[in-house]
Amino acid sequence: MSVPGPWYLGLAAFLFGIGATGLLVRRNILVMYMCIELMLNAVNLTFVTFSRMLNDLGGQDAVFFVLVVAAAEVVVGLGIIVAIYRRRAGATADDVNSLKG
Amino acid sequence: MSFLAATGLAIGSAWALYGVGTALVLAGALGVVLLRNPVHCALSLVTTIFGIALLFVDQHAYFLAAVQIIVYAGAIVILFLFVIMLLGVDRKEARAPENVRLLVPMALVVGAVAVAELLALARLQYWAAGAKSTTQSLSGPGSDIQKLGQTIFTSYLLPFEMTAALLVIAIVAAVALVRRRSQPPPAPPRKSAGALRHPARAPEAPGAAVRPAATAGAGRSAAAATRSPAAAASTPKTSNETREGRAVS
């Protein structure tokens, strides 16, 4: 016996909301990436919970692929951040406006 | 009677695990959003990840709990900390005035609306609606890692191979993004080996020495333009040049 699924789904919704709010509020690009990780974790929790509620292994497979994609995304994103910091010191999200015409 | 006591204990321990995991998850998430120092944010992210792994264990997804800790806490957060350390941004975020007025209240409203929408949509219909056990039954015989491996190598073989390609592409992209270009690319291949070994000295061939200055004067290569001060003085990249110099020093 374990905790009913809706408890996990509610927690995942709150975690996703906190991550989305942090993505909007914070100005440091690294912390914004961490907020994206929070949202991905919320979705992972939802997948595992649905997998248990529907007695289906596909949700856990989806979590597996989300983990791989998250790792690749972080690698490329941090490479972009390092390249930005090399060109200009102390870049927040407001400073990256070089594409402005 | 003893069976009932054991069942009650199992239910109680499941709820206890859920409570601890929820506390860790919410505390870590609030720490990521609210703390000012990026290092503290990364450590709060580790707290959230451990809480999520606890909730995975509570739902009998043992393999995913282990992978969650290994991949997230062992690789991704370490990568964040390495980048923070490399760039030296482990100081408090400046509390500069926002470009957009009322940014924080608007963001709070958007987040609250998102949570309310998720909860309302989930309560309007059933929480989990759909066909059961279409991929494979979760409660069948065997451990969860064995069943996960079987489905990945049968039903999800093509996505699995595509993730392999994605990882290779990500590695190549990271190297290509971060690599410092020491020599201009159109150097002839027979001289490039010696030129790469001694990048600071003048190359033996006179043609290779003339070529970077020519490209910098033409303004075709941005990297060469920022390296050469004479060329940078004539271009509007002077502010970037001084900023880069300050960042290095």
pLDDT score of B160: 93
CA torsion through residues A15, A17, A23, A27, sign: negative
Task: Yes or no: say if B124 and B116 are a contact pair by the CB < 8 Å rule.
Answer: no
pLDDT score of B192: 47
Cβ separation B29–A38 shorter than 8 A: yes
The stretches in chain B having pLDDT less than 70 are 1-10, 89-100, 124-128, 182-249
pLDDT score of B222: 44
CB count in 10 Å sphere of residue B7: 11
| Phi and psi torsions of A48, nearest 5° | -65, -35
Where do the structural domains in chain B lie, given as residue ranges?
7-94, 98-125, 137-180, 193-198+208-248
Report the pLDDT averaged over residues A26-47. 92
CA A83 to the chain's CA centroid: 21
Question: Which of the listed CATH numbers 1.20.120.1200, 1.10.1240.10, 1.10.3720.10, 3.20.20.10 matches domain B7-94?
Answer: 1.20.120.1200
CA distances from residue B150 to A58, B69, B102, B155 in whole angstroms, order as listed: 11, 22, 52, 8
Residues in B touching A14 (Cβ below 8 Å): 26, 115
Residues in A touching B115 (Cβ below 8 Å): 13-14, 16-17
Cβ separation A58–B30 shorter than 8 A: no
In three-state secondary structure terms, B137 is strand
Cβ separation B127–A38 shorter than 8 A: no
Counting Cβ atoms within 10 Å, is residue B53 exposed (0-12), middle (13-18) or buried (19+)?
buried
pLDDT, tens digit, 9 for 90 and up, residues A70-100: 999 999 999 888 888 887 766 677 777 766 6
Q: How far apart are CA A74 and CA A33, in angstroms?
A: 8
